Amino acid sequence: MRWAMASTIGDGQQNHSHSCKFKITGGDRMNQALEMARVAYQALDEKKGEDIRVIDISGISVIGDYFVITNGTSDSQVRALVDNVEEKMHKAGYELKEQEGNNSGTWVLLDYGDIIIHIFDRENRPFYNLERIWSDGKDVEMNELS
């Protein structure tokens, strides 16, 4: 979202040629975070991510609002899931802040600020068991994301 920012120039006239992003706060930010989670969920589902979970962590953590967690059946599927999420999120206008672990294909973390996406292989997901660690979070139902 963008808005025109008026600024006063030397002779007192307003200059409306600037534009800048504004900070989304409160409910609007949560709606945007949920929309980001929806885009990620659909991208993972499109490439057959297994047991896709979206956990609302906004009430228990400051690191983000949602975790999106899934796994692939192989290293190549993990990479395909990562690529599809990056493509769909980019097309939706969301900026990837940081990525960890893409070379290994066993656990890739995609940090989009308000949401953090974890894509595991089958063996590592139960080992790290993020769903248990973040069990105080609220599961987001599929119908909220479709």
First to last CA, the chain: 22
Identify the residue whose tokens are 């953590």.
61
Report pLDDT for 4.
Answer: 31
Tell me the pLDDT band of 9, cut-offs 50, 70 and 90: very low
Per-residue pLDDT tens over the stretch 66-119: 999 999 999 999 999 999 999 999 999 999 999 999 777 899 999 999 999 999
Domain 26-144 has CATH 3.30.460.10: yes
Q: Which residue has the higher pLDDT, 13 or 62?
A: 62
How far is Cα 45 from Cα 48, in angstroms, rounded to an integer? Answer: 5
Per-residue pLDDT tens over the stretch 21-71: 334 345 566 689 999 999 999 999 999 999 999 999 999 999 999 999 999
3-state SS, residue 53: strand
